[in-house]
Amino acid sequence: MAHKYGPYSEDALIALLRARDQRGMAEVYDRFSAALFGAIVRIVPAEEVAEEILQETFLKVWNRMGSYDASKGTLFTWMLNIARNSAIDHARLKKANQKNRSLDNLVGLGDDHPSVSQSPDTMDVRAFADKLPAGHKVLIDLVYFNGYTQAEAAEHLQIPLGTVKTRLRTALKTLRLIFE
């Protein structure tokens, strides 16, 4: 059965995409781009950025078509998950970058501005982090200075996620005591 917006059934469309036939991608774009864009823009309201994420979504669909499993859902649902995850990843990365910028503004102020009072807002955060035990310091560096998620830090260090969370919590408590 052909879709009301084009000549291909979903099965035929999937076959075209798996064969890397550009007609399939053109049809998928025509059918689903507006709906996917709507989902993305709810997460990332900046339209220009949402458009970039939409293009990234279609590139991922093209490159990952071999992993699509029709028994787990429709093609649209699979594409919607890719779009949503891409938008969420972008939002998280933006948030992490904003945190890093604000931390970078704090780091080193005490050294560069000796007349500034030593409040938590002006202390050399890295110097205090350097005083932490090695296992805690490396996590603070990865998560707070390099923008890793806790899961990414766990994978990078090849330690359990629970260990990462516990060590970060302990490190933050220690830093809080130092700041007080």
Residue 176 has pLDDT above 70, yes or no: yes
Q: Is 112 found in the same domain as 89?
A: no
- State the helix-helix crossing angle for 75-106 and 47-64, rounded to 10 degrees: 130
Residue 4, burial from CB neighbour count under 10 angstroms (0-12, 13-18, 19+) = exposed
Q: Is residue 119 part of a domain?
A: yes
Beta-strand ranges (E) seen in the chain are none
Q: Is residue 157 part of a domain?
A: yes
Q: What mean pLDDT do residues 32-38 have?
A: 93
Q: What mean pLDDT do residues 123-138 have?
A: 76
Q: Is 40 found in the same domain as 89?
A: yes
Q: What's the CATH code of the domain at 121? A: 1.10.10.10
Q: What are the pLDDT digits (tens) for 67-86?
A: 999 998 899 999 999 999 99
DSSP line for 14-47: HHHHHTT-HHHHHHHHHHHHHHHHHHHHHHS--H
Q: Of 94, 115, 136, which residue is a domain's last?
A: 94
Across 5-15, b (16+ Cβ under 10 Å) vs e yields eeebeeebbbe
Q: Is 120 found in the same domain as 83?
A: no
Q: What's the CATH code of the domain at 88? A: 1.10.1740.10
Q: Is residue 101 part of a domain?
A: no
Across 115-125, b (16+ Cβ under 10 Å) vs e yields eeeeeeebbbb
Distance between CA atoms of 123 and 111, rounded to whole angstroms? Answer: 9
Q: Is residue 69 part of a domain?
A: yes
Residue 105, burial from CB neighbour count under 10 angstroms (0-12, 13-18, 19+) = exposed
Q: Is 19 found in the same domain as 88?
A: yes
Contact 27, 79 (CB under 8 A): no
Q: Is 18 found in the same domain as 90?
A: yes
Q: Is residue 24 part of a domain?
A: yes
Task: Return the pLDDT at 117.
Answer: 39
Report the predicted TM-score, pTM, of the whole model to 2 decimal places: 0.52
Q: Is 90 found in the same domain as 111?
A: no
How many residues are present in the chain? 180
Residue 121 has pLDDT above 50, yes or no: no
Contact 36, 57 (CB under 8 A): yes
Number of domains in the chain: 2
Q: Give the residue numbers spanning the domain of 44.
A: 10-94
Q: Is 113 found in the same domain as 77?
A: no
Contact 29, 76 (CB under 8 A): no
